[in-house]
Amino acid sequence: MNNSENTRDMVLIDTLLCKVEDECLEFKGNNIDPRIVGKLCSALSNSARIYDKNYAYVLWGVNDDGVIVGTDFNPDLSDNKDILKFKLAQKLKPSLDCDFRVVQHPKGRIVILEIPATTLSPVEFDGTAYVRIGSATPKLSDHSNKMQTLIGKLQVYVWEKEVAKSFLTSLKVLELLNYEVYFKLTDQSLPQSEVEILKYFEAEGIVEKDIGNKWNILNLGALLLAKDLNDFSTSLARKGVRFTVYNGNNKSETITNRLEGAKGYAMALEGLVKYINEILRKSEVIGEVFREVKTSFPQIAIREIVANALIHQDMTITGAGPQVELFNNRLVVSNPGEPLNPVDRMIDLPPRSRNEKLAGIMRRMGLCEEQGSGMDKVIYSVEAAQLPAPQFITSHHSTQIILYSYRPFSDLTTDERMRACYQHAVIKYIVGEGRLKNSSLCVRFGIAKGNESQATKVIKSALSKKLIKIADTESPRSGYWPFWA
């Protein structure tokens, strides 16, 4: 344990000793029975969430009246590791990242067990969930009011509010976070003092006060403004954006560029979009309407789908983060978690984000479009460049958005043509440009005059698959709407 951790634990112990045993605190002597400790972990984790605490605690070496008596319990002994820690890891579901720490307090040796509040579901030990009622540890199922409260709290659990790094001086907070970027992108004057900066950050939900006049950086602050995400937990570091370039059309090809993002999103997004555009080949996009030299993909489309991956990812899925992969024929952007809207309604429905604070700040920073106007601009820019229709895929607890480089109409598959037809109908509908028609679809695909029958075939196929519908049944030639209109 380093000096900073030891100092924090000393302050923490003294703070906890001023309390009595309650729903988030237990004092113990030398009892390390795995079943008793397991039940406590379940009960305290559930109760911490009920009472809006980040952690609950067990202190060995303290009497029930809060007097330090010291303890012989050593969590680092091989027997304790093999029996106690193994039992907890094996029988606590969902698993908890519990932390045993030994503290040589002036009044006696103490062991702290720091138990995080549950985030996904009630924590069970050996198949049973427990809760704290005062200092008692009954079954959660015997207290329906506690169960209802816990479920309600879990439904509104916000990952952004969890602590990323604790017990920091104000100076250390400002060393870890790029506060200049925050004030620049939000178009605010930089305050003249640390105190004023932290007031802004506290109001924004970027930091919170800790014990002993120290500060905690919350997940929102770390993910958005970290100078280096590796200064935080491994799970947070994995949320950095990874970018890989392949010299071909599949992952078996040679990797020519790789970027492991370590900066917070406020800095990473702009740099990544610029980096991608520098790598993209310049090519002449040939179409009936647009003939000009441009990058393979519209910059606004790249920005929006990368921002979408950052904002809408499921932060509770550990070990995974946003990923951008560039192949010769496509750009694939992936994020952990399935979308909250159906994939066939991602263009028109207002986005539903799991990370509202992150999304809100990124919009105010100008890092992405205003709510509800991002994905339609992606499709609009793709249509303007006469590129194949983007594809939205969800599988295995992840979401992919794929941008395809230019191919002529003759090289598109039937499914690609129908997908483009549907997306064209959606764009026409939501931006108020009228209805999908044969003539507008010809422009979208770059179909030359005299070949309008090609667009007609696509419309018929989309109708047969019920992707679009006739807008006015009394006037079938007046145009088409998306199926849900």
Is 70 exceeded by the pLDDT of residue 96? yes
Is 60 exceeded by the pLDDT of residue 116? yes
Average pLDDT over residues 113-140: 94
Q: Where does the pLDDT of residue 292 fall: very low under 50, low under 70, confident under 90, or very high at 90 and above?
A: low
Stated pTM of the model: 0.81
- Report the SS3 class of residue 345: helix
Other beta carbons less than 10 A from residue 118's beta carbon: 24
Q: Domains of the chain (ranges plus CATH)?
A: 3-157 (3.30.950), 161-229 (no CATH), 242-407 (3.30.565.60), 411-482 (1.10.10)
Q: Which residues contact 171 (CB under 8 A, 6 or more apart)?
A: 194
Average pLDDT over residues 123-141: 95
User: Which H or E run contains 438?
Assistant: helix 438-445
Long-range contacts: 49-53, Cβ < 8 Å, 24+? 49/117, 49/118, 49/119, 49/150, 49/153, 49/154, 49/157, 50/23, 50/131, 50/146, 50/149, 50/150, 50/153, 51/23, 51/24, 52/153, 53/24, 53/117
* pLDDT value at residue 82: 67
Is 50 exceeded by the pLDDT of residue 465? yes
Q: Where does the pLDDT of residue 283 fall: very low under 50, low under 70, confident under 90, or very high at 90 and above?
A: very low
* pLDDT value at residue 286: 47
* pLDDT value at residue 284: 45
Q: What is the pLDDT of residues 222-268, one digit of tens each?
A: 999 999 999 999 889 999 999 999 999 999 999 999 999 999 999 99
Measured CA to CA, the distance from residue 110 to residue 100 in angstroms comes to 10
Measured CA to CA, the distance from residue 114 to residue 110 in angstroms comes to 13
Q: What is the pLDDT of residues 371-423, one digit of tens each?
A: 656 788 999 999 999 999 999 999 878 999 999 999 999 999 999 999 999 99
* pLDDT value at residue 95: 87
